[in-house]
Amino acid sequence: MTLPCVVGPADLWFSRDPEEVDVARVRCARCPVRRDCLLGALERREECGVWGGELFLGGRPVPGPARNGRPAKNAEMVEREQRARMVRRIEAVLQSA
């Protein structure tokens, strides 16, 4: 069994580039140890990186990296929706066997 984080550039999992974070997340989605990886990252309060398909910054999962450009007019609503989707993703992964 080859884990996606073992193959390819290690920097991908700790990138600040939003596109690279997206690539890392997609690769995690098919990983056979995704649940354990995410659970471990939550328990350890990982400071940064993509773990179990989620981006961690400052010891907690966040919806995504900061993107360049002007914030949306409804930025607070967008942030709430992104956070709610992230929480649902995390719950789904942790409930998987």
Token couple for 88: 């649902």
Question: φ and ψ at 14, to 5 degrees?
Answer: -125, 25
Least Cα distance to 41 among 29, 26, 53, 23 occurs for 53
pLDDT in tens, 5-25: 998 788 999 998 999 999 999
Confidence band of 97 (pLDDT split at 50, 70, 90)? low
Tally of CA atoms within 13 A in the half-sphere of 97 that contains its CB: 0
Q: Are 95 and 87 in contact (CB under 8 A)?
A: no
pLDDT in tens, 24-67: 999 998 899 999 999 999 999 999 999 999 999 999 999 888 77
Alpha helices in the chain (DSSP H): 18-29, 34-44, 75-95
